[in-house]
Amino acid sequence: MSVTLSSTIVLDSQLSRDVSARVDGRLAPEVQAVIQSAMKLPLKDRQTVVAAIEHSLDDELPPLSPQEFREAWSAELQRRLDDYDSGRDPGFSEEEVQAMVEKLLGE
């Protein structure tokens, strides 16, 4: 049995480090435009877009055995914890998270 790594699970270290850049608006203008356009779509259409993008990513990722999947996630979680503990990634305050959510929701 193999497990396809879902696109919602990011094991690529560079992508993980770029989460804050993606969330707080430091995206390439063309990416921002795509996201803004998609956010204007009705819920069902946005779900379709997300599913299509996720499917395209899943097709490009190699399948992992359940053991490989657990090991990969364990290593990623340890890396994230080490980054937080060392101060390389200070995380986000409750206020910062609330502001990001409000921005994403257009409030």
Alpha helices, H only, 1-107? 13-17, 19-23, 29-39, 43-60, 66-86, 94-105
Instruction: For residue 31, give both structure tokens.
Output: 């990416």
Provide, rounded to the nearest whole percent, the portion of the chain with pLDDT above 90.
Answer: 38
Model pLDDT for residues 15-43, shown as the tens digit of each residue: 444 444 444 456 788 888 888 899 999 99
Domain edges within the chain: 3-105
Distance, C-alpha 44 to centroid of its chain: 21
Question: What residues contact residue 21 under an 8 Å CB cut-off, 6+ apart?
Answer: 27
Q: What's the pTM value of the predicted model, to 2 decimals?
A: 0.41
Could you say which DSSP state residue 11 is in?
-
- Residue written as token pair 């340890």: 78
Nearest to 51 by CA among 107, 6, 97: 6
